Amino acid sequence: MVKKVFKIQGMHCTACAMDIDGELEDTEGIKESNTNYAKQLSEIIFDPGKVSEEKIRDIIKGLGYNATY
């Protein structure tokens, strides 16, 4: 497992952070997602053999937010 912190842009409230966490944690290969609205960061623990960083960024982008490393 790998822990990676992503900078999230476009969140407006804590519900945005909860949406990101819910979607990511439903993705195979992602063990845990902890998104902090106040810090605009998402700390994600995942198996790089099952899900790539690019896929994680695509999921977040699909929700309407921008994620960078």
Non-local (6+) Cβ contacts of 66 within 8 A are 8, 9, 10, 60
**Phi, psi (deg, nearest 5) at residue 53:** -60, -35
Tokens of 26: 């439903």
Does domain 2-68 bear CATH number 3.30.70.100? Answer: yes
- Could you tell me the sign of the dihedral formed by the alpha carbons of 6, 9, 19, 58, in that order? negative
Q: What's the whole-model pTM score?
A: 0.91
Q: What is the structure's pLDDT at 69?
A: 80
5: left (phi over 0), alpha (psi -120 to 50) or beta: beta
* Tens-level pLDDT at each residue, the chain (69 residues): 999 999 999 999 999 999 999 999 999 999 999 999 999 999 999 999 999 999 999 999 999 999 998
